[in-house]
Amino acid sequence: MKTIPKVIPPRSRVRLVKADRHTPAWRKEVGRRFRVGYYSRKDGLDCIWLVNENGKYEQTTDREFLLKYFEIERVSDEKNFYGVGKRRLTKLPTRVVSGGQGPG
């Protein structure tokens, strides 16, 4: 995996891997995947928007919490942190899990 940059680029993919007494609401959410959304000039680069599987900007976190509770599955090459001139993120593609049995 790439080195984790100071500002995690938009479109990077993360997965919630743990919850503890500081984040009890996340217990039922462990395993969910998100993408890092485009940053807001109003919020700044310290406010990381998490975009859910439906493409909705759902919640925010900061780098410290993101690295503590999430696994970064893919670091994006996106350089346009604010998404100027970019389309909004769409639904996260679903994974197809093989049942282990092939045809015939």
Strand-pairing partners, residue 71, are 15
Residue 47: predicted pLDDT: 97
Residue 96: predicted pLDDT: 54
Q: Looking up tokens 């462990």, which residue turns up?
A: 30
pTM for the full predicted model: 0.81
All structural domains of the chain with their residue ranges: 13-74
Residue 56: predicted pLDDT: 94
Transcribe 10-46 into DSSP letters: TT-EEEE----TT-GGGGGGTT-EEEE----TTT-TT
Per-residue pLDDT of the chain (104 residues; tens, 9 = 90+): 568 899 999 999 999 999 999 999 999 999 999 999 999 999 999 999 999 999 999 999 999 999 999 999 999 999 999 988 887 787 776 665 555 555 44
